[in-house]
Amino acid sequence: MSDTIKILFLGDIVGEPGRTAAAKYVKQSLAEGRVDFVIANGENAAGGKGVSGRLAIDLLRSGIAVVTTGDHAWDQKDTASFIDTEPRLLRPLNYPKGVPGHGSIILETSKCKVAVMNIQGRTFMKQLMENPFHAAINEVNRLREETPVIFVDFHAETTSEKIAMGRFLDGSVSAVIGTHTHVQTADERILPQGTAFLCDVGMCGPHESVLGREPSNVIRKFLDNMPGPLPIAHGPVRVDGVTVEVNIATGLAKGIERVSEIVK
């Protein structure tokens, strides 16, 4: 039996094209034995605005073990009621007490227990959240009582806040991977104390787009600053993600590799 577990994390899933491409990629990766456990950020799955209960279930049925979110967590009106019934759909941990849902989960796999934690940054983000650093370390200490294998989705805008979080949690979690900007960065590395890090994992969505949206509509908005629809783009779809290999005994990363493929 291997002493490591390979975790695949897919970037923000955008609309139907992103859902279809992500599901296809996940099923193939699991069938071929390339990964053992899959996480995906699904907060843009419903036409780029949140994730409904039905779509969350579809993503989970495709083989994704945990769906994380971020600042669009509540854009679909049924999410607040659904999220309490499905613990594998996470919302950011650092919402105030009393908000529906949970910011972390521990799941049993054939190899080990895997914890997944979802946090949201505060710099240039609209929501008023609790301090993510205080929330993160308190939750990590709780999770480590049950497993050292802890994967963190840090949904944040700035590279500085993401890098700071990676450094802050270095050695206490398996990976800190950024989401939110939809643009994959090329700074993957294992930090000095053994935590895998990447500023932003990218997105699963139309390649010829602006963050998954039709370019002409986005450009128009930049030109006139007027409200209007921002439809999901068409054409080839890319899948952005990252695979992290983690030592089961220590919870520290042994390898990190970016994924970026056109799937249709």
Q: What DSSP letter does each residue of 12-50 carry, written as one string?
A: EEBHHHHHHHHHHHHHHHHHTTS-SEEEEE-TBTTTTS-
Q: What does the alpha-carbon distance between residue 105 and residue 21 come to, in Å, rounded to a whole number?
A: 25
Per-residue pLDDT, 127:
85
- Tens of each residue's pLDDT in the chain, 264 residues: 589 999 999 999 999 999 999 999 999 999 999 999 999 999 999 999 999 999 999 999 999 999 999 999 999 999 999 999 999 999 999 999 999 999 999 999 999 999 999 999 999 998 889 999 999 999 999 999 999 999 999 999 999 999 999 999 999 999 999 999 999 999 999 999 999 999 999 999 999 999 999 999 999 999 999 999 999 999 999 999 999 999 999 999 999 999 999 986
* Superfamily of structural domain 4-262: Metallo-dependent phosphatases (3.60.21.10)
Compute the distance between CA of residue 204 and CA of residue 241 in angstroms, rounded to an integer.
8
Distance between CA atoms of residues 232 and 110, nearest Å: 38
pLDDT of residue 1: 55
Q: Residue 261: how many CB atoms within 10 A of its CB?
A: 11
Domain extent listing, the chain: 4-262
Q: Which of 72, 155, 180, 182 is catalytic?
A: 72
Angle between helices 132-143 and 159-169 (to 10 degrees): 30
Q: Write down the pLDDT at residue 126.
A: 86
Residue 218 carries which side chain, given as an amino acid letter? V
Question: Tokens in use for 77?
Answer: 């009106």
Give yes or no for a contact between 152 and 143, defined as CB atoms under 8 angstroms apart. Answer: no
Give Cα separations from 258 to 151, 184, 187 (angstroms). 16, 9, 10
Enter the pTM of the model. Answer: 0.97
102 part of the active site: no
Q: What pLDDT sits at residue 2?
A: 82
